[in-house]
Chain A
């Protein structure tokens, strides 16, 4: 079974927010809510400082506290690619998954259920790329199977310096930032 993940090249990202707009358009994300967003991060100390622009979203972790704490099974790991999804009609809106996520990647949809990035699984299952990846004008985002050593994402992780977000939280996130 594939294990989908993402690699984002911070050397190429310019923070144009095309990924954010594409996500909102593709997934009808309600006004005032975001499934993905841009974070600007400064690393190091002066004079050795560098700036990282990160396109962030749900990390579709291997170790999923959001799925573990869900009392109804609405939050679940999808059969295809191990993507973490929410079954809207099973969610009671208890918000435990929102509190359990160290990335604060979830929010409550105005209709009452927990919502988040799906890696555009509806497109991926048709052989297409997630909307954010497909529209990126600098081609800084890569999507693929982390378990396949020949996939582009695996090769980039093996060949370039990279880091995930908050690895100390122990969730084993599946989005890696090239630096």
Chain B
């Protein structure tokens, strides 16, 4: 069967679907980045290795709060019926990843704030002296500290997974319809978060440690990207066509150059040389990883909307 003509010309739908612009990729990127920061920060708190990790434990929570709020604002901008946004919180739909996400985001805030209260930023603590009492209360209770670490890892994991599941449950868009997508977004979130610490940490050991961790995440990301494409290529005709959008289709140049090349492979080489003391640590590789993570979300969201059961007949 081949579609020849249609009289439909609905905005955002025709000629190809483009309902989600820049807002959703930015939201997914920031959500993934915050998820990565929560997992990394939570891990160091849980394993009681946070004493000398100033950036990981004390800087990341405040950055997470700011970036998560920016991400949610970006999501709000995307809504077409903005005054009804409160409807998200009048129900919980177990079949809707977006409903899960809305409630996960509500739970994420107090967990990040609990992490931040372990050592509140000076500009906040100076205005609210009672925060010192809370800090002392937390530090007198090692079990509570561990619980803060665990809940950061758990909620961070849920947030990172949700950003991928949100897209992968849509069977109508073959490119998204892969169970590897949540793994890709979670690993990419961890990788961008590690890159951020690598870039901003003042402590040399902390920077070195997170650069090594990022190398691990980037290596996993290469395999996950490969498995995502192999999974699509070995599936039905529409999924094969969806994979071709990235392999040699209209999104291929951006995918290979900005995501695979400049977002994963080149920074991985630079960081491998840096951790082996062949070259100095510079912000170049982490910036490439972070920008690559953002472009990955843009490409997946845009190419996913382009991929379609009907479009398969045209290629």
A interface residues, Cβ below 8 angstroms from B: 17, 20, 32-34, 37-43, 56, 65, 68-74, 89-96, 98-102, 104, 106-108, 111-113, 166, 168-170
Chain B residues, CB < 8 A from A168? 236, 238, 309
Interface contact A113-B81, CB-CB below 8 Å: yes
Given A39-B3, A71-B93, A101-B172, answer yes or no on A108-B9 (Cβ-Cβ < 8 Å). Answer: no
Interface contact A107-B10, CB-CB below 8 Å: yes
Interface contact B87-A95, CB-CB below 8 Å: no
A49: min CB distance to chain B, Å: 10
Which residue in B102, B169, B171 is a CB contact (below 8 Å) of A169?
B171
Decide if B315 is an interface residue (CB 8 Å cutoff): no
Chain B residues, CB < 8 A from A40? 3-6
Given A69-B97, A71-B102, answer yes or no on A113-B80 (Cβ-Cβ < 8 Å). Answer: yes
Task: Identify which of A41, A65, A92, A107 gathers the most chain B CB atoms within 10 Å of its CB.
Answer: A92
16 pairs from A and B in contact (CB 8 Å cutoff): A37-B6, A37-B8, A39-B7, A68-B95, A68-B96, A69-B96, A69-B170, A71-B101, A72-B90, A93-B82, A94-B79, A98-B13, A98-B19, A104-B13, A107-B10, A107-B11
B75-111, CB < 8 A from A: 78-82, 84-85, 87-88, 90-91, 93, 95-99, 101-102
CA distance in complex: A38, B8 (Å): 7
Give 3 closest A-B pairs by Cβ, nearest first: A93-B80, A93-B81, A112-B81
> B24: nearest residue on chain A (CB-CB)?
A95
CA distance in complex: A94, B19 (Å): 9
CA distance in complex: A62, B295 (Å): 37
Chain B residues, CB < 8 A from A98? 12-13, 17, 19
Interface SS of chain B: loop
Chain A residues, CB < 8 A from B90? 72
A86: min CB distance to chain B, Å: 11
B111: min CB distance to chain A, Å: 21
Sort chain B's interface into a size bin.
35 or more
Extra A-B contacts (11), CB below 8 Å, given A41-B2, A94-B80, A113-B81: A20-B7, A32-B11, A33-B11, A37-B7, A38-B7, A41-B4, A70-B93, A90-B84, A96-B170, A108-B19, A168-B238
> A108: nearest residue on chain B (CB-CB)?
B80
CA distance in complex: A104, B15 (Å): 11
> A107: nearest residue on chain B (CB-CB)?
B10
Interface contact A102-B11, CB-CB below 8 Å: no
> A43: nearest residue on chain B (CB-CB)?
B1
Chain B residues, CB < 8 A from A56? 6, 8
> A109: nearest residue on chain B (CB-CB)?
B80
- Mark contacts of B156-184 with chain A using CB atoms, 8 A cut-off: 1 yes-contact digit, 0 otherwise: 00000000000001111100000000000
Chain B residues, CB < 8 A from A104? 8, 10, 13-14, 17, 308, 310
Task: Identify which of B96, B99, B173, B305 gathers the most chain A CB atoms within 10 Å of its CB.
Answer: B96
Interface contact B9-A32, CB-CB below 8 Å: yes
CA distance in complex: A39, B17 (Å): 17
B205: min CB distance to chain A, Å: 44
